[in-house]
A and B are shown apart, each in its own frame.
Chain A
Amino acid sequence: MASPSPRRPDALAAWGRAAIPADLASPGRARREQFVGAIVRAMERPAPRARASWLPSMPSEMPRLHLAFASRVTRRRLAATVAAAALLLVLVGTGFAQTAGGAVIAGITSLLGAGPAESPGAGAPGPAALPAGAPPSRAPTPRGPTQLHPAGRVETAVEGRAYHGPTPGKVHRGATPAADDPELAMQNRVFADAMNARARGDLGGAVRLLDDFLVRYPASVLAEDAHVERFRALAGMGDHRGAARAARAYLAAYGGGFARDEARRLAALDR
């Protein structure tokens, strides 16, 4: 049983329906030059350095927290603090290994009944054990947490840029908000599968998955999007009659929905 999702608030629906002047999109020549000037100035500034991807981004509205120290925290200082902490750990670790560490490790090894030959690293040849001139291992190296994006893109935290190739299977980031709720996770998976099918150009598959989604989760917060994507996919397949029917079904369920204008156009095509 799908859990009921909150409907679109009436005030926001009214806000979305409000008209805006059409001449906004055609500014005068002077305004155009003013904006182009701003673009040129921004382009002429020295190219900003890409942020090191391992550094967390600082919230843009940090001073809003009204913490005395918040506005003084910068990424540079954060980086320096992290580096100092890492150095301290290395120093402490080295000291430990040179003094008590060896004795402790030997004790643990003897307790486990493993001889020196069985200790970690002793059995398998390490880099030093490789013959001179041997090629380095080609085993894939971990590149940081991976995130699945819509449209089959995968982004790694280390690279910071999107990879636009085919998705190598399903990859999920650790704790997503939906992970706590199996129902929500399943909804997301079916909907994402439909979107992936559409992105691959498999519109028929997308329609089938969306049909399945709507039968299983008619009260989902994604149901409106599923209806919209369904009539768009049908229209994309050239099934205008089916698209019109789906658009009318959407209008019946979501008369004030975000895609009502598009649905009305499609519904009118079949009359």
Chain B
Amino acid sequence: MPPWLRLASASPEPARAHEVDLDDEALIDAVERGDTRRAHELHDRLIAAIEPTLYRVLGRREPDHDDLVQATFEQIVLTLRRGRFARGCRLSTWASAIAAHVAFNALRARRRARGAFETRDVAEVIEDGSAIDGRMIGDTEREIGIRARIRAAQVHLTAMNHDRALVLVLHDVLGHDLAEIAAMLEVSVAAAQSRLVRGRKEFHARVRAEDELEEGRHG
């Protein structure tokens, strides 16, 4: 049986949580110069942040998982070459945010493809048991219920304001703290906090509306 990882703290070294490593600086400079000899190093430095983030946000290994990993790397390289990374956090932390963004956009694209635009579709969507990898949660009745809730959460998040939903995913699902999210997204802590508060309110409101709809169906 393969080993499994549990979500760990995003910043185990508090004193360095918001600084770019010196090694990161050299690597970023190399990418900005277009030095392809450092491509392997960039891959090895970031892959451990990108793959788990994609997997967790999507809930399973999708058929296009490798395409999404590639898209994430391309986005990272393009952004670095434009000099748009403000270096407010570690490179791997920022890469995790880019991966979350790519995964989240993939979720939204699938939702649009399904034509699932209203909350009435949530019940139908969460019936899709394969949407969340059973190994992530488990297969007992209670755990199947949790999988359904995660699936429903994905649906609600893809219907929400993108910025708020992304901060919710980064904070409440991926475990980054607000100061770190602010550095990743290059916004102030106040803006990150505001998005989190508003995102949670919107999320709770959507869950309540869905519950009421369900009660109406069964009652």
By a beta-carbon cutoff of 8 Å, the part of chain A in contact with chain B is 5-25, 27, 31-32, 34-36, 38-45, 47-51, 61, 64, 147-151, 153, 155, 160-162, 164, 173, 176-178, 184-185, 188, 191-192, 195, 198-199, 201, 203, 221-222, 225, 228-229, 232-233, 235-236, 258-259, 261-262
Contact = CB atoms under 8 A, between A and B. Distances in A.
Contacts of A195: 18, 179, 189
Contact of A9 (B47, B73, B172, B178): B172
B188 A150 contact: yes
Contact of B18 (A9, A39, A178, A199): A199
B8 interface: yes
Contacts, number: 240
Contacts of B169: 12
13 contacts: A5-B197, A6-B201, A11-B152, A12-B173, A19-B5, A39-B42, A42-B73, A42-B78, A45-B78, A149-B188, A178-B190, A185-B190, A233-B14
Nearest to A24: B51
B78 A12 contact: no
Interface of B: 2-12, 14-15, 18-19, 31, 34-36, 39-40, 42-43, 47-48, 51-52, 55-56, 61, 66, 69-70, 73-74, 77-78, 81-84, 86-88, 105, 108, 112, 135-137, 146, 149-150, 152-153, 162, 168-169, 171-179, 182-183, 186, 188-191, 193-194, 196-197, 200-201, 203-204, 207
A71 B8 CA distance: 41
A177 B183 contact: no
Contacts of A177: 190-191, 194
Given A32-B43, A150-B183, A20 B55 contact: yes
